[in-house]
Structure 1
């Protein structure tokens, strides 16, 4: 069972979270709006998907902002985390998906194992805090409902298949 924890102002991130839940099925994935539940689900789930949009000039969305400091005191040891970032690669090209990158750094510092890195191919942006060190991938699924909404469905499906495979490997190794 995995927890999908999201924050959403316009509904785009919530829609992406629901697509992920649809892929895994409601029996295997539970949705949590960070605005309503905070980080409470972290304690009860070993596998987490965090969905976070970047606002304006690389800022954290307001619902995530409310729990931002709490992340620093949350233990992610033995937790597997995957991330989804929402952003606008043209209007905010210098800050594309920065919030996802900042969240990634926080949970890794607290012991999380991150899966679900996503290639940068097919995106056009100037800079991002969500890039891996070698800059060939994002630290999670990159979605742009403003400029590439027609690609969201396929990207979510491919990424979910990648996550499912990584979790299957983890279970066979742990099992």
Structure 2
């Protein structure tokens, strides 16, 4: 049985809320949801599928709590791990929309992990994003500031996508 761990960094609570909503949709237990501010990178070792989430701040920066945690996990061999990314941002910052997710993706490339969960960018409005690769976002992006009415549908669609790409059996 594949074990799912959700790791998030949240400043205002939006990314935390998304993490808990994803956990509910994917039947992930509360003890498998981790705030990176209070977690050790070694904790990812107990999971097969990692859902990693961050908000984007300033000029496309990671959420503050991610810096040390990411420094720790990017040195690990994650070739047996699957990662799906989710992020929260503001499309009015159209030249850095959800860049934090792009940062996590690029920094974890050398770990050997497999990434799932690329998401269509069709109904988003942005100019540039490091999370936009080969015509898709590299994960689920949520703009609860400007489009809260789309959040629930995006969450449900992404979970269905993950389940079709990666058989989630928890």
TM range (shorter): over 0.9
Partner of 1:63: 65
Partner of 2:120: 119
User: TM-score, normalised on structure 1?
Assistant: 0.90
CA contact (8 A) 2:4 2:28 kept: no
Partner of 1:139: 138
Q: Show CA shifts across 1:43-70 (max 9, x none).
A: 1111100011111101111110232322
Residue correspondence of structure 1 range 96-175 to structure 2 within 5 A: 96-132=97-133, 134=134, 136-168=135-167
| Counterpart pick for 2:56 among 36, 54, 65 | 54
CA contact (8 A) 2:42 2:73 kept: no
Segments of 5+ residues of structure 2 without an aligned counterpart are none
Q: Show CA shifts across 1:4-53 (max 9, x none).
A: 00010000000000010000113498201111113232111111000111
Aligned-partner SS, 1:66: helix
Mapped partners of 1:38, 1:149: distance in 2: 32
Mapped partners of 1:120, 1:39: distance in 2: 30
Mapped partners of 1:18, 1:70: distance in 2: 24
Mapped partners of 1:109, 1:35: distance in 2: 23
Mapped partners of 2:80, 2:61: distance in 1: 28
Segments of 5+ residues of structure 1 without an aligned counterpart are none
The total of aligned residue pairs comes to 167
| Structural RMSD (CA) | 1.7
User: TM-score, normalised on structure 2?
Assistant: 0.92
The runs of at least 4 aligned residues of structure 1 exceeding 3 Å deviation read: 26-29
Mapped partners of 1:42, 1:88: distance in 2: 28
